[in-house]
């Protein structure tokens, strides 16, 4: 039955896209900062159904879960011309098979779109995890030793009793391990995390074990080294690395439960590339251009908090939410 419904759904999407390449989506609601979407009817799942996705069709417009159980964030570096490049077939296809936005702001811009400064990586990772502009949270450079006392999503998760880990691309040892790109590991920025940092900062080699054993945390931040994230390596090898990481994740039983959202983001250089992935996303859809404040790193954090039932930090309450793009009302 599900196969038949999926076939009808895909046919309907193809037919509508021939007339309108981008799903018809209404503007942002100014009083709530929530993006409202009108998409083809979602595939309705019952409690006994299994969502039929795989790494080539990870987004099928299935019903959004009543509660999101996992948010996974994969971070890449320093490019804005990525999606659509014929030399980057995996990322380009993934964006087409799922969803993306063409004008995503980095932390050079405040939540209202006005300039805050010109920043490199670390200030962007900080804004993504604490919802403040760099001028407010105080991390202004990539210096490894710089810290902030700003409240972060890690504090929120810890206070709520929810699990979280940063998975860094190096050997075991926790927050003291140095690697090429260690300043991209945001849990290390926060003074409030110092006493528990090591237990929540683990090697990337642990990720698939946690995923397949049912021990994946509620919030996962994936930090590849600069040898893999397009910082020091070629875009083509970054595309290949993304495929090697994401394909097993998107083929996993955990992803096919339908309650995991994956955010594949770049840190800086607006417009920031992004691919949003979940079974509930309608294939080949794009986030609409909002009225009011722009889509940005603040929007990402707001959406993670909403998915996980956390309060809105800093300026995120003024950012457009992406929650309805994932199929939630």
Q: The CATH number of the domain where 197 resides is what?
A: 3.40.720.10
Q: Which pLDDT value is given to residue 51? A: 66
pLDDT exceeds cutoff 70 at 176: yes
Q: Which of 9-18, 31-40, 295-304 has the lowest mean pLDDT?
A: 9-18
pLDDT exceeds cutoff 70 at 27: no
Q: Which of 30-34, 208-212, 297-301 has the lowest mean pLDDT?
A: 30-34
Q: Which of 29-43, 176-190, 278-292, 294-308 has the lowest mean pLDDT?
A: 29-43
pLDDT exceeds cutoff 70 at 9: no
Q: Rounded CA gap, 67 and 308, in Å?
A: 8
Region 251-261: mean pLDDT is: 97
**Higher per-residue pLDDT: 302 or 52:** 302
Contact at 8 Å (CB) between 244 and 233? no
H, E, C per residue of 89-145: HHHHHHHHHCEECCCCECCCECCCCCECCCCCHHHHHHHHHHCCCHHHHCCCCCCCC
Q: Which domain holds residue 296?
A: 2-326
Q: Rounded CA gap, 242 and 49, in Å?
A: 29
Q: Rounded CA gap, 253 and 293, in Å?
A: 37
pLDDT exceeds cutoff 70 at 210: yes
For 72, residues 6+ apart whose C-beta sits below 8 A from its C-beta are 216, 220, 222, 249, 260, 261, 262, 263
Average pLDDT across the chain, whole number: 87
pLDDT digits (tens, 9 = 90+) for 284-320: 998 888 989 999 999 999 999 999 999 999 999 999 9
**What is the count of structural domains for the chain?**
1
Region 264-276: mean pLDDT is: 95
pLDDT grade for 11, boundaries at 50, 70 and 90: very low
């Amino acid at each position: 039955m599900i196969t038949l419904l999926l076939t009808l759904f895909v046919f309907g999407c193809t037919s509508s896209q021939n007339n309108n390449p981008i799903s018809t989506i209404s503007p942002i609601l100014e009083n709530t900062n929530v993006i409202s979407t009108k998409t083809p009817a979602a595939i309705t799942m019952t409690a006994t159904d299994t969502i039929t996705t795989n790494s080539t069709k990870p987004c099928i417009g299935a019903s959004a879960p009543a509660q999101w159980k996992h948010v996974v964030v994969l971070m890449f570096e320093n490019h804005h011309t990525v999606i659509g490049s014929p030399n980057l077939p995996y990322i380009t296809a993934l964006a087409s098979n799922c969803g993306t936005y063409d004008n995503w702001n980095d932390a050079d811009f405040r939540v209202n779109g006005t300039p805050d400064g010109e920043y490199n990586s670390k200030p962007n990772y900080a804004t993504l995890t604490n919802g403040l502009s760099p001028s407010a949270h105080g991390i202004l450079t990539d210096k490894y030793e710089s810290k902030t006392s700003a409240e972060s999503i890690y504090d929120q998760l810890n206070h709520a009793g929810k699990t979280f880990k940063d998975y860094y691309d190096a050997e075991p040892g926790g927050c003291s391990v140095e690697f090429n790109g260690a300043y991209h590991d945001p849990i290390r920025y926060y003074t409030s995390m110092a006493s528990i940092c090591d237990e929540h900062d683990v090697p990337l080699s642990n990720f698939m074990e946690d995923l397949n054993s049912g021990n994946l945390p509620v919030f996962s931040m994936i930090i590849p080294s600069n040898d893999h994230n397009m910082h020091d390596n070629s875009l083509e090898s970054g595309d290949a690395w993304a495929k090697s990481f994401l394909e097993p994740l998107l083929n996993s039983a955990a992803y096919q439960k339908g309650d995991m959202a994956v955010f594949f983001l770049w840190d800086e250089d607006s417009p920031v590339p992004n691919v949003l992935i979940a079974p509930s996303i309608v294939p080949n859809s794009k986030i609409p251009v909002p009225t009011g404040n722009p889509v940005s790193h603040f929007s990402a954090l707001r959406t993670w908090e909403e998915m996980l039932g956390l309060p809105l930090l800093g300026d995120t309450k003024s950012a457009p939410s992406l929650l309805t793009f994932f199929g939630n009302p």
